[in-house]
């Protein structure tokens, strides 16, 4: 095992600065790891040449003492949902299999401007629709952690499964993810890494292939809380090209890392405490509470009475937006085209061949809930429930500074198990994360322990709008145990 | 003067509502910074946003919003402080996103009205239900390559205003007057160029009929894309007649969309109700909503509003004493109203006479040469001066008419032309007297005849004097002197 790929972003930055090693050396080490672990199927497209040339530039900046900042020369994986200029961007879909964007997403541009080195584009569920990374046209990803009991291959979770596997498997120092209902936090929990979904509007969505525009948000996936704070600092910020991005100052997130939790009040949703949870998950939740208590946090019970409607609400709003967002993949201007005798036939053949089952399912659900006669009963009702969910959180945050729950109801499944799941069982994996997206709040998943089967368990902290700092403070405490 | 269609069984009246699409005057498109200019090479002014590329996001062009507000104010309408952009979902090859961003249940402009003038000169107020902003689609070209369709996305994303009237018009004439008035207002405001030939102003008509005296609203048909005011009136006339024929023959009208064929002067089915799309409107989650129009913005636009045609016509009548018809004709275009006002400012130019000279003599020259008031060479000050010169007797009306042609051709002011060509009217009584004496002396028998009662001979003498003076003698003075001399 190569020592260099074991280092965190913070350690890499320190080493680059002190000229202990160069960005090129680190990049080469990662490229070797990527080649050695293709079985994770973490990357859809690897870009070693581009990475080495970017690393060489970072080398000369480091050598000349002109480093651009902590990310300069740091090798990252980029979820293949971010458009990258002149580099194939697929959304893990057949329909975009050969799509090469002539533009760069705002988030990746910011990272490039900070000197980051992109190793390639990571695997995901097709169009970010899925919770196990098994809907990718390019095949499922494999969790670098195995189940101890039977050495079975387990899933990474999703949709940012490729990024999670790449970070956990040392195939990059950090990665970008996107989170619409849990797509950063749930795979982070399954793979044993840190995943932060910032407040909606914190990072620009410009150039990120849309799934559900009102819920999609980019965020960092890293090995430590500190790395997440570093990366988010470079990813966040107002963008005039995204009308939903927030014109709010970006604080120095790393400053929050050592603040501790003394005086902090953390809420526990009573609805979840009354539920019969998986024993090991429940235990991890309790241990997490004890760690924070010991560090000086106070705990109190809160109520989120409408949380139980969150999944149903999500599976109306997200597909509704998706059904419209994915209408542009029609074979006319870019992407896959299957010719037909008429325009309508071309649409049918192209979209039938281009989209996988889960994407088709969500397009159909979304089309249905927006249709005349159903709009009021489904879509409009869902928007009303969403307001109630937001109100629950607003009420709760009058008394608490953060909310602690498990990230997911279980540890990762085996690939075989997940293939046998019906869609609803799959959707239930996001029960704890989805309400946070509906409320637009920031959330972070931190690994706290491994279960008896050796698989990681993550805990989930949720904060007020634009208060990622409190989450970084509390998550650092949890991380240090 | 009610518009009534006489059937065999009933007399019928027509109910008309119009949806007018106006292309907003703006440099950039509604949601991208690509140029909104028309013409040019196909697919030349298309941003990745307009082409619906993955990850691209719309950003509202504030100027287009201001144009919509300005138009709303010009239509005496409520400006909604909060409105919402919604997606109208349907598939078509020239609709890149698979949806059109439009406004549905919360448009930027609400109830308003405009006043039209009927045939008998009376006014009628036509209600406006709403004005909303939306993006245009691209253009499909089916006859360029055999077996293939070509797509031009230059128009894709260009801002349109859709202005929906209430169903309050009851004749083709009223519909025509409404369009004429709407066109004048948007042109006047500078929010749309009103060019129907090029499609920057288009119109759909909703037509139904009902027995005279009834207040029911029967099934309507929508006649699409009528691209001139004349066609609009023809289309409504045909469509209303068709409804009457169907009803009188015991049939029923199906709600449908129809297209007008100008060559045959008839409408035909485009698509029936059963083929109507379910557009699945929902608020566009890519745009922060609601779209907010602040009080400050409204106040600023109000302060920048030009005087509208009706107000200006009223002022012309009051301030300059113009006849109503003249005022109405002058305000048909902002350029002609401006021209008149500049001309009327010239010292010694009577406003009514200036208007008359402009609307008769100048207009005749413009029509004859097919040039518009914007492109005329004659400066308004010269026309005003011309009126003043007629007024003070320097020239006669006939010379003034000739001078209009000369000024246009030479781009020179009237005074220098009069000087150079010696066009000054002779009003020197002594000089004219001398000429008259000579003529009477030379034509003794005619003088005798006149004196014996043949008064018609006066015309002969006037002609002789005019001939002798090269047309420059003041006709009033000639008449007066001739009468004196001949009656001696």
Give B-chain residues touching A209 at CB under 8 angstroms: 54-55
Rounded to whole angstroms, the Cα distance separating B191 from B26 reads 8
Is the confidence at residue B479, as pLDDT, over 70? yes
Rounded to whole angstroms, the Cα distance separating A230 from A69 reads 10
Judgement on whether residues B222 and B238 belong to the same structural domain of the protein: yes
Give A-chain residues touching B43 at CB under 8 angstroms: none
pLDDT band at residue B468 using 50, 70 and 90 as cut-offs: confident
Judgement on whether residues B206 and B267 belong to the same structural domain of the protein: yes
Contact A91 B54 (CB under 8 A): yes
B149 Cα to chain A: minimum distance (Å): 10
Given a contact cutoff of 8 angstroms between Cβ atoms, the answer to whether B487 and B481 are in contact is: no
Rounded to whole angstroms, the Cα distance separating A209 from A89 reads 9
Query: How does B451-468 read in b/e, with b if 16+ C-beta sit within 10 Å?
Result: eeeeeebeeebeebbbee
Closest CA in chain B for residue A83: B55
Rounded to whole angstroms, the Cα distance separating A163 from B431 reads 107
Is the confidence at residue A427, as pLDDT, over 90? no
- Give the pLDDT score at A55: 98
Rounded to whole angstroms, the Cα distance separating A441 from A197 reads 8
From A8-12, A50-54, A73-77, B452-456, the region with the lowest mean pLDDT: B452-456
CATH number of the domain bearing residue B457: 1.10.10.410
Contact B280 A375 (CB under 8 A): yes
Query: Domain limits at B96?
Result: 5-300
Judgement on whether residues B93 and B159 belong to the same structural domain of the protein: yes
Is the confidence at residue B426, as pLDDT, over 80? no
Q: Is A470 among the domain residues?
A: no
Mean pLDDT of A201-225: 98
Query: Domain limits at A68?
Result: 3-256
pLDDT band at residue A147 using 50, 70 and 90 as cut-offs: very high
Rounded to whole angstroms, the Cα distance separating B239 from A113 reads 63
| Residue B430 sits at the chain A interface (C-beta within 8 Å) | no
CATH number of the domain bearing residue A122: 3.90.1300.10
Contact A327 B99 (CB under 8 A): yes
What DSSP character marks residue A153? B
List helix spans (H) across B103-228.
Answer: 172-189
| Residue A371 sits at the chain B interface (C-beta within 8 Å) | yes
Tell me the Ramachandran region of residue A306: left when phi exceeds 0, alpha when psi lies from -120 to 50, beta otherwise: alpha
Among B386, B388, B384, smallest CA distance to B403 is for B386
How does the average pLDDT of chain B come out, rounded? 92
Mean pLDDT of A138-148: 96
Closest CA in chain A for residue B51: A333
Mean pLDDT of B341-357: 93
B93 Cα to chain A: minimum distance (Å): 7
- Tokens (6 digits) for B392: 């003070």
Which comes out higher in pLDDT, residue B468 or A456? A456
Among A185, A222, A180, smallest CA distance to A200 is for A180
Is the confidence at residue A194, as pLDDT, over 90? yes
- Give the pLDDT score at A2: 65
Give A-chain residues touching B149 at CB under 8 angstroms: 343
Rounded to whole angstroms, the Cα distance separating A82 from A205 reads 9
Most confident of A438-442, B363-367, B409-413: A438-442
From A164-178, A402-416, B176-190, B451-465, the region with the lowest mean pLDDT: B451-465
Residue at which a domain ends, from B387, B421, B455: B421
Could you give the residue numbers annotated as active site of A?
79, 159, 183
Nearest to B57 among A206, A326, A334 (CB): A206
User: Percent of chain B at pLDDT above 90?
Assistant: 72
| Residue B438 sits at the chain A interface (C-beta within 8 Å) | no
Give B-chain residues touching A103 at CB under 8 angstroms: 48, 53, 55
Judgement on whether residues B294 and B338 belong to the same structural domain of the protein: no
- Give the pLDDT score at A438: 98
Judgement on whether residues B361 and B438 belong to the same structural domain of the protein: no
What would the pLDDT profile of A182-193 be if each residue is shown by its tens digit?
999 999 999 999
Judgement on whether residues B61 and B190 belong to the same structural domain of the protein: yes
- Tokens (6 digits) for A415: 């690939």
Nearest to B57 among A99, A243, A344 (CB): A243
Is the confidence at residue A365, as pLDDT, over 70? yes
If one counts the domains in chain B, the total is 3
Mean pLDDT of A228-234: 98
Given a contact cutoff of 8 angstroms between Cβ atoms, the answer to whether A118 and A51 are in contact is: yes
Note the Cα A190 to chain centre separation in Å: 12
Stated pTM of the model? 0.90
Contact B48 A327 (CB under 8 A): no
- Give the pLDDT score at B36: 93
Note the Cα B359 to chain centre separation in Å: 16
Given a contact cutoff of 8 angstroms between Cβ atoms, the answer to whether B92 and A342 are in contact is: no
Q: Is A100 among the domain residues?
A: yes
Residue at which a domain ends, from B300, B328, B351: B300
Is the confidence at residue B288, as pLDDT, over 90? no
Contact A213 B59 (CB under 8 A): no
Rounded to whole angstroms, the Cα distance separating B224 from B202 reads 9
pLDDT band at residue B476 using 50, 70 and 90 as cut-offs: confident
What would the pLDDT profile of B290-346 be if each residue is shown by its tens digit?
999 999 999 999 999 999 999 999 999 999 999 999 999 999 888 999 999 999 999
Judgement on whether residues B34 and B169 belong to the same structural domain of the protein: yes
Judgement on whether residues B380 and B443 belong to the same structural domain of the protein: no
Residue at which a domain ends, from B421, B456, B478: B421
Judgement on whether residues B288 and B331 belong to the same structural domain of the protein: no
pLDDT band at residue B443 using 50, 70 and 90 as cut-offs: confident
Given a contact cutoff of 8 angstroms between Cβ atoms, the answer to whether B206 and B165 are in contact is: no
Q: Is A314 among the domain residues?
A: no
pLDDT band at residue B204 using 50, 70 and 90 as cut-offs: very high
The partner residues of A269 in beta bridges, in order of sequence, read: A302
Judgement on whether residues B106 and B175 belong to the same structural domain of the protein: yes
Rounded to whole angstroms, the Cα distance separating A451 from A456 reads 6
pLDDT band at residue B83 using 50, 70 and 90 as cut-offs: very high
Contact B48 A208 (CB under 8 A): no
- Give the pLDDT score at A429: 87
Mean pLDDT of A373-380: 96
Consecutive H or E run containing A228: helix A225-235
List helix spans (H) across A48-193.
Answer: 48-63, 106-113, 161-168, 185-191
For residues B279, B283, B284 and B287, what is the CA-based torsion angle, rounded to 10 degrees? Answer: 160
Is the confidence at residue B24, as pLDDT, over 90? yes
Judgement on whether residues B124 and B196 belong to the same structural domain of the protein: yes
- Give the pLDDT score at B436: 85
**How many Å is the Cα radius of gyration of chain B?**
30
Mean pLDDT of B339-366: 94
- Give the pLDDT score at B284: 97
Among B218, B221, B124, B112, smallest CA distance to B169 is for B124
Rounded to whole angstroms, the Cα distance separating B163 from A162 reads 50
How does the average pLDDT of chain A come out, rounded? 96
- Give the pLDDT score at A406: 97
Judgement on whether residues B285 and B325 belong to the same structural domain of the protein: no
Q: Is A71 among the domain residues?
A: yes
- Give the pLDDT score at A380: 97
Is the confidence at residue B1, as pLDDT, over 70? no
If one counts the domains in chain A, the total is 1
Q: Is A476 among the domain residues?
A: no
- Tokens (6 digits) for A236: 């966040």
Residues 271-330 of B with CB under 8 A from A: 278, 280-282, 285-288
């Amino acid at each position: 095992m190569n020592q260099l790929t074991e280092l965190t972003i913070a350690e890499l930055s320190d080493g680059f600065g002190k000229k202990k090693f160069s960005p090129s050396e680190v990049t080469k080490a990662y490229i070797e790891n990527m080649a050695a672990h293709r079985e994770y199927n973490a990357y859809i497209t690897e870009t070693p040449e581009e990475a080495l040339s970017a690393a060489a530039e970072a080398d000369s900046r480091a050598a000349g003492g002109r480093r651009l900042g902590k990310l300069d020369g740091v090798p990252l994986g980029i979820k293949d949902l971010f458009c990258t200029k002149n580099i194939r961007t697929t959304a893990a879909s057949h329909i975009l299999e050969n799509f090469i964007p002539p533009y760069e997403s705002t988030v990746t541009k910011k990272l490039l401007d900070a000197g980051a080195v992109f190793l390639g584009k990571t695997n995901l569920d097709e169009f970010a629709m899925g919770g196990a990374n098994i809907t990718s046209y390019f095949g499922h990803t494999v969790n670098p952690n195995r189940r101890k009991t039977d050495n079975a291959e387990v899933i990474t979770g999703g949709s940012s499964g490729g990024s999670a596997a790449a970070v956990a498997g040392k195939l990059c120092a950090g990665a970008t993810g996107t989170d619409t209902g849990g797509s950063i936090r749930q795979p982070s929990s399954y793979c044993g890494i840190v995943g932060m979904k910032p407040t909606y509007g914190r990072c620009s969505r410009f150039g990120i292939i849309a799934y559900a525009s009102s819920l999609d948000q980019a965020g960092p996936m890293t090995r430590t809380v500190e790395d997440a704070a570093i990366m988010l600092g470079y990813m966040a910020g107002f963008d005039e090209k995204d009308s939903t991005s927030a014109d709010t100052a970006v604080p120095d997130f790393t400053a929050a890392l050592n603040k501790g939790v003394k005086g902090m009040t953390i809420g526990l949703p009573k609805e979840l405490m009354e539920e019969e949870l998986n024993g090991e998950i429940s235990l991890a939740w309790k241990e997490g509470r004890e760690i924070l208590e010991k560090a000086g946090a106070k705990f109190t019970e809160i109520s989120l009475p409408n949380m139980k409607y969150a999944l149903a609400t999500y599976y109306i709003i997200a597909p509704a937006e998706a059904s419209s967002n994915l209408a542009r993949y029609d074979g006319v201007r870019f992407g896959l085209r299957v010719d037909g005798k008429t325009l309508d036939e071309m649409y049918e053949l192209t979209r039938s061949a281009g989209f996988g089952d889960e994407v088709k399912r969500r397009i159909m659900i979304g089309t249905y809930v927006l249709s005349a006669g159903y709009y009021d009963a489904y879509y409009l009702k869902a928007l009303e429930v969403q307001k109630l969910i937001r109100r629950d959180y607003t009420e709760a945050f009058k008394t608490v500074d953060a909310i602690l729950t498990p990230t997911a109801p279980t540890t990762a499944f085996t690939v075989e198990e997940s293939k046998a799941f019906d869609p609803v069982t799959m959707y239930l994996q996001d029960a704890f994360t989805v309400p946070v997206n509906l409320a637009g709040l920031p959330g972070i998943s931190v690994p706290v322990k491994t279960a008896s089967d050796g698989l990681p368990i993550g805990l989930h902290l949720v904060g007020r709008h634009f208060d990622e700092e409190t989450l970084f403070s509390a998550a650092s405490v949890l991380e240090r145990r | 003067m009610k518009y009534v269609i006489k059937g065999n069984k009933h007399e019928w009246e027509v109910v008309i509502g119009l949806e007018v699409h106006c292309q907003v005057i703006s440099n950039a498109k509604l949601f991208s910074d690509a140029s909104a200019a028309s013409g040019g090479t196909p697919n030349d002014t298309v941003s990745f946003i307009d082409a619906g590329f993955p990850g691209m996001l719309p950003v509202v062009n504030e100027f287009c919003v201001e144009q919509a507000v300005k138009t709303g104010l010009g239509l005496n309408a409520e400006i909604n402080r909060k409105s919402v952009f919604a997606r109208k979902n349907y598939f078509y090859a020239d609709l890149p996103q698979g949806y059109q961003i439009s406004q549905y249940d919360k448009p930027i402009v609400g109830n308003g009205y405009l006043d039209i003038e009927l045939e008998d000169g009376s006014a009628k107020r036509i209600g406006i239900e709403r004005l909303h902003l939306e993006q245009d689609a691209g253009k499909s070209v089916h006859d360029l390559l055999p077996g293939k369709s070509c797509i031009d996305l230059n128009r894709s994303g260009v801002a349109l205003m859709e202005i929906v009237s209430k169903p309050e018009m009851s004749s083709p004439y009223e519909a025509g007057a409404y369009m004429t008035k709407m066109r004048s207002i948007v042109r006047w405001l500078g929010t749309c160029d009103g060019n129907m030939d090029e499609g920057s102003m288009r119109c759909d008509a909703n037509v139904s009929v009902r027995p005279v005296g009834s207040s029911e609203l029967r099934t309507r048909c929508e006649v699409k894309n009528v691209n001139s005011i004349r066609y609009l009136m023809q289309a409504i006339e045909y469509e209303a007649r068709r409804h009457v024929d169907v009803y009188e023959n015991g049939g029923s009208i199906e709600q449908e969309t129809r297209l007008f064929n100008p060559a045959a002067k008839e409408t035909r089915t485009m698509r029936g109700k059963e083929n109507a799309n379910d557009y699945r409107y929902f608020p566009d989650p890519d745009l922060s909503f609601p779209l907010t129009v602040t009080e400050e913005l409204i106040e600023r636009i109000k302060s920048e509003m030009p005087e509208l045609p009706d107000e200006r016509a009223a002022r012309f009548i009051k301030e300059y004493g113009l006849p109503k018809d003249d005022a109405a004709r002058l305000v048909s275009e902002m350029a002609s109203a401006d021209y008149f006002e500049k001309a009327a400012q010239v010292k010694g130019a009577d406003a009514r006479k200036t208007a008359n000279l402009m609307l008769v003599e100048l207009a005749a020259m413009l029509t004859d040469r097919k040039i518009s008031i914007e492109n005329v060479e004659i400066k308004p000050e010269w026309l005003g001066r011309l009126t003043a010169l007629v007024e003070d007797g320097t020239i006669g009306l006939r010379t003034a008419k000739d001078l209009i042609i000369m000024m246009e051709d030479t781009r020179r002011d009237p005074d220098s032309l009069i000087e150079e060509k010696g066009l000054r009217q002779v009003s020197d009584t002594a000089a004219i007297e001398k000429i008259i004496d000579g003529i009477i002396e030379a034509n003794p028998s005619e003088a005798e005849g006149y004196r014996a009662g043949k008064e018609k001979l006066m015309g002969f003498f006037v002609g002789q004097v005019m001939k002798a003076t090269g047309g420059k003698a003041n006709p009033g003075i000639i008449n007066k002197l001739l009468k004196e001399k001949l009656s001696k």
